[in-house]
Amino acid sequence: MEKPLEGLLVLEFSQFLAGPSAGLKLADLGARVIKIERPVKGEACRQLSIKDLFVDDSSMLFHTINRNKESYAANLKDPDDLSKVKKLIAKADVMTHNFRPGVMEKIGLTFEDVLGINPQIIYGVITGYGTDGPWAKKPGQDLLVQSLSGLTWLSGKSSQGPVPFGLAVADLMCGNHFVQGVLAALLKRAKTRKGVLVEVSLLESILDVQFEALTIFLNNGGKLADRGNVRGSAHAFLSAPYGIYETNDGYLALAMGDLLLMGEVLEVDLGKYSARKTWFRSRAAIRKILSKKIITKSSDHWIKVLREKGLWCEKVLNYDDLNHQPFMADLQLQQKVTNSKGETIFTTRSPIQIDGEIILEDKAAPQVGEDNLAINEQFLKD
């Protein structure tokens, strides 16, 4: 299968999650992504472990977001190495970085500098809070951004206090937004034949993720949403029955639906809540009524009776449950990748299909500088 971005050369100076996750998506779509890393130790994420899992001296986290890439080791403070990197930049389509403000100025690789090397470059920058102002040099770390953006306050029930999202959601969503910006910039360059600067920040991305909640807040007189104090609360702005409920053998998720019909199916009396406007105002009381009934039988029982009436529901799965679902195999949702040492890792795949074909790549993340010789031979040979 010919992929949409084949022939595109991306130089990735980015570290940790947001930038490299964007590079992963570009690589899956066919771009050639070369990580520019410091010699020996490589980028910092190689040592940022999840549950102390490592493969070939790099963390499993690094492998998760850097498969299907190449590695070029270069010391950007060394004039000879920097000269080589500039030769690569001259032939690249895209370069990305998430260095602190001021770093690229010292190295001499700002957008303006790079335009002098490659006038048609797409130059992508990820920051925590933008490049100017009092927040520019503060650490752009996922949990910190989640916290100050209001996201941790929005999750969970009111008695829990702030609840952080269980993933690096600010980093990952910022990576997605970064890809959108790069693809849009490629289209603009095709029209203008000029370089384009693409900038995203963790703060702007995580606020965009909350556009529904923030829009409501900005238009209801600044009134904060009541998360409610019933176990399983899933959304501060949606009415009953929306949420997670305990059954006698697990948990059941109920989405939006006709509450009165649900009452009939569950055989509970919700007659006093016949007016739709009470479904939000009295949602805590309604959820307590539903909870007392739902816990008496199994998840499978409730799924059967609710689905027969067209009501939206689903069993709550953990990762082990998920891994045994038929759709995992039917949709080829896992893939095996292999590194240059022959070691294998099981991971996810690109969620995008092109012309009906699933995108699969079996190349694991590279070792530091693994591709220097080949890249020098191809791009830097005089």
Q: Which residues have a catalytic role annotated?
A: 171
Angle at 141 between CA 63 and CA 151, to 5 degrees: 110
In this structure, what are the phi and psi dihedrals at residue 244, rounded to the nearest 5 degrees?
A: -110, 135
Place of tokens 């500098």: 113
Tokens matching residue 165: 């999202």
In this structure, what are the phi and psi dihedrals at residue 306, rounded to the nearest 5 degrees?
A: -75, -40
Helix/strand/coil for 307: helix
Tokens matching residue 186: 């490629």
Instruction: Report how far apart, in Å, the C-alpha atoms of 28 and of each of 6, 78, 81 are.
Output: 10, 32, 28
Q: Are 123 and 194 a contacting pair, CB within 8 Å?
A: no
Q: Are 195 and 201 a contacting pair, CB within 8 Å?
A: no
Instruction: Report how far apart, in Å, the C-alpha atoms of 181 and of each of 108, 131, 150, 184, 342 are.
Output: 24, 17, 25, 5, 36
In this structure, what are the phi and psi dihedrals at residue 182, rounded to the nearest 5 degrees?
A: -65, -45
d(CA 186, CA 30): 14
Given the DSSP bridges, would you call strands 70-73 and 58-59 parallel, antiparallel or unpaired? unpaired
> In this structure, how many other beta carbons lie within 10 angstroms of the beta carbon of residue 51?
7
Q: Are 146 and 152 a contacting pair, CB within 8 Å?
A: yes
